Chain A
Amino acid sequence: MKLRDSGYGMLLSVPGLTILLLWVLIPFSIVFIISFFRYDNMSPVIPTGLANYKTVLKDPALPLVLARTFIFSFGSTGLTLLTSVILALCLNRIVKGSGFFRSLVVMPWAVPLILSGFLWAWMFHPSFGPIGDLLMKCKLMSEPINIYKESSTAMAGVIIADAWRRIPFLTIITLAGFQSIPPNLYEAAKVDGADSFHTLRYVSLPLASRPILIGTLITLMFSFRSIDVIYSMTPGGGIGKSTYVLGTYLFDYMYEFLNYGVAASISVILIILTFGIGAFFIYYTLKKG
């Protein structure tokens, strides 16, 4: 067989494409088809056209759910991005102890997201968690802080737990971006009289922008659709449904109300919204830098 035989290449792709077809495209079609059926596990399954979508779009809770989803995902991504860039800049500058800090910083990567929520729920626990106690010992609070009591702090807690798990990935990506910059550019900038802020603004960030951008889009996409942390930290959506995001909404329709038709239409909406972010991700990934 000739090495450049394109038929052979196509043949080799068959097992992979079969898996893709069976595992992704068929479930994808099923969820799309179900979204046009009345499937609530009570009455016979019949096609209802767009009724499921109307139920979702007319739900007065939907704007709130969407707003919280955006706050959660952008908050988590913003915190992740900021911390990761600072971490990567520091890790890029030090030589001694670099491996030590790098391995400690990457540790949360090994933790499943759902466990991250449990861990931070414990850390933030008003009576036996260390954070409230430490704040009180430092005389910053008169009584242990209860983050679950107010909607803004509950959201902040969830965002911290989510970002904590996502920082290692973006840090490694950003660090790799910084380390691929040739050192003579820094020397040239120094000769031109640039201080650290100038180098950061005109050398480091622009030259590492592609990995940072793609890493950020991946983080945004993943936190947009995640419910793991929210489910383990604030089961059911927290106080006043303050951490009730699109994922939890979908989960409730599926496992609480057992209304598969509406759940399917929420799934389709979730897929479309995530693809809005994913399209940028695909575009920048396939575009050669």
Chain B
Amino acid sequence: MRRALVKIVDHRATPYVVLGVITLFMISPFIWMGLSAFKTHSETFRYPPTYFPEDFTLETMYEAWYKAPIPTYLKNSLIMCLVATFIIVVAGTFTGYALSQYRYKGSNMVLGLFLFTRTIPPLALLLPYYLVLMKLRLLNTRLAVILYLIYLSYPLVVWLLKGEGIL
């Protein structure tokens, strides 16, 4: 029994078969998304579902780009992520450099503090962020999202720059 199992596991093709099955699971939503992108509205929501688009159309792409409107959203995302990344990397470099090059009283505690920050659920701090941003009249602005992004990524960046990796 065990010998037979070992033979199966050791076969040259086994990793490829297993990988093929799991990879299919991992990319199936992407395949479905890609195929549906070229279907018409009514075909997307048809029962039973069709797999390959019957009327190949770019109409939905056009709609997404101009009616959604995706260019505006892309601009928002770009502004928010670039500004947040710039602030995080500049500030994180100082801290990461200090923590990796100098040992001072409490430097280990500072490092532990950054790690501890990663364990705080972002969801739990949603309320104070909401209240503070409301008081500062910043709700519904890009700046609010930038401030929240800084909180989410800053400790991770410091930890990575310190050179410990994620582990």
Contacts and interface: CB of A to CB of B under 8 A. Distances in A.
Interface of A: 3-13, 15-17, 19-20, 23-24, 26-28, 30-31, 34, 83, 86-87, 89-91, 93-94, 97, 101, 104-105, 107-108, 116, 119-120, 122-123, 127-130, 133, 164, 167-168, 173, 195-197, 210-211, 214-215, 218, 221, 224-225, 227, 247, 250-251, 254, 260, 263-264, 267-268, 270-271, 274-275, 277-279, 281-282, 285-286
Contact of B151 (A23, A107, A254): A23
B45 A128 contact: yes
Interface residues of B, number: 72
A86 to B, nearest CB: 6
Contact of B104 (A10, A101, A274, A275): A10
A104 B23 contact: yes
A133 B48 contact: yes
16 contacts: A12-B95, A12-B102, A16-B98, A17-B95, A23-B147, A24-B120, A107-B26, A123-B28, A128-B44, A130-B28, A130-B49, A195-B10, A224-B121, A251-B123, A254-B130, A274-B120
Given A9-B99, A23-B147, A267-B127, 17 more contacts: A6-B103, A13-B95, A17-B110, A20-B117, A27-B125, A86-B18, A90-B18, A90-B22, A120-B29, A127-B47, A129-B49, A173-B166, A173-B167, A196-B9, A210-B167, A254-B126, A281-B119
Nearest to A197: B6
Nearest to B88: A19
Contact of A133 (B15, B49, B115, B127): B49
A28 B113 CA distance: 13
B72 interface: no
Contacts of B101: 3, 9
Contacts of B14: 90
B51 interface: yes
B62 interface: no
Contacts, number: 218
B128 A19 contact: no
Given A15-B91, A90-B15, A34 B127 contact: yes
* Secondary structure dominating the interface of A: helix
